[in-house]
């Protein structure tokens, strides 16, 4: 079954709105794991508006499943992940002021940066994933970076799902098939939710992992965290 990694950035955002340590992200991450999540994702940004760099350091020893740390490979970010050695680092091309991830890597223009970064992370025993769109050329060149996985940027799929789900999924099927043929593991994330997740998973049968934060935390406001994680796991297992 495709693994569920819960992105807890929005939980940290609530905490930061009032200062202090409520909600406690360590307790929140632990609860997600107890309720069935197979991983925890965080994305520290330069302005630390949600997850802070210190949070990542204290989360690592507390995580019992897998810790996935997303970010742009700045010197500060690389120093952090090489120090704590998370199970996976997902490289994203976000500029410092980005509200959220909104595009995948150009693996041609950034080939040298990505190759060097992947090599650094591999030397520390860290699995790497590259955030990427469905352009087949970009996926082909992702292989040359040495990355073990790619994470498909699914916002276009989510945006068009209700208009024409078969058309929306088509480029992702092609991209995933190529990545699989090239020996790349496949993750996915961005705007996946209870409505569109099951259809995506059914059409990408070799999907390793999905990272879901905003929709899952929002759903938890209505259903509670334990029930919500159970609902997402049900969708991942076939509904």
The reply to whether 43 belongs to the active site is yes
Q: What is the DSSP string of 162-212?
A: TT-HHHHHHHHHHHHHHHHHTT-EEEEESS--TTTHHHHHHH-TTEEEEEE
Q: List alpha helices for the chain, DSSP H.
A: 9-18, 25-34, 53-59, 75-84, 111-123, 136-143, 155-160, 165-181, 197-203, 214-223, 225-236
Q: How many CA atoms lie within 13 A of 149 on its CB side?
A: 26
The reply to whether 214 belongs to the active site is no
Q: In terms of residues, how long is the chain?
A: 239
- How big is the CA angle at 124 (ends 122 and 70), to the nearest 5 degrees? 70
Catalytic site residue from 43, 50, 66, 235: 43
The reply to whether 190 belongs to the active site is yes
Q: Quick check: 140 and 179 in contact, CB under 8 A?
A: no
Shortest CA distance to 56 belongs to which of 32, 33, 22, 79? 79
Catalytic site residue from 33, 50, 66, 190: 190
Could you give the CA distance from residue 77 to residue 93 in angstroms, rounded to a whole number? 13
Q: How many CA atoms lie within 13 A of 119 on its CB side?
A: 8
Helix crossing, 214-223 with 9-18: angle to 10°? 70
Q: Is 216 exposed, middle or buried (0-12, 13-18, 19+ CB in 10 A)?
A: buried
Catalytic site residue from 33, 66, 70, 151: 70
Catalytic residues: 43, 70, 190
């Amino acid at each position: 079954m495709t693994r569920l990694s819960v992105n807890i950035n929005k939980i940290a955002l609530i905490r930061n709105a009032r200062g202090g340590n409520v909600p406690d992200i360590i307790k929140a991450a632990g609860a997600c794991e107890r309720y069935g999540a197979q991983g925890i994702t965080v994305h520290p940004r330069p302005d630390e508006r949600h997850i802070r760099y210190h949070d990542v350091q204290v989360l690592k020893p507390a995580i019992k499943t897998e810790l996935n740390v997303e970010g742009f490979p700045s010197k500060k970010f690389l120093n952090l992940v090489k120090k704590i050695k998370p199970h996976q680092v997902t490289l994203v091309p976000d500029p410092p002021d980005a509200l959220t991830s909104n595009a995948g890597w150009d693996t041609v223009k950034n080939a040298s940066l990505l190759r060097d970064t992947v090599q650094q992370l591999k030397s520390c025993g860290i699995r790497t994933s590259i955030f990427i769109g469905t352009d087949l050329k970009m996926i082909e060149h992702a292989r040359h970076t040495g990355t073990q996985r790619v994470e498909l940027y699914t916002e276009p799929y989510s945006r068009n799902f209700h208009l024409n789900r078969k058309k929306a999924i088509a480029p992702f099927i092609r991209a995933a098939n190529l990545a699989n043929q090239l020996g790349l593991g496949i993750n996915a994330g961005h705007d996946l939710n209870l409505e569109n997740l099951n259809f995506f998973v059914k059409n990408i049968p070799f999907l390793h992992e999905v990272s879901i934060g905003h929709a899952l935390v929002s759903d938890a406001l209505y259903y509670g965290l334990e029930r919500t994680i159970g609902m997402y796991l049900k969708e991942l297992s076939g509904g």
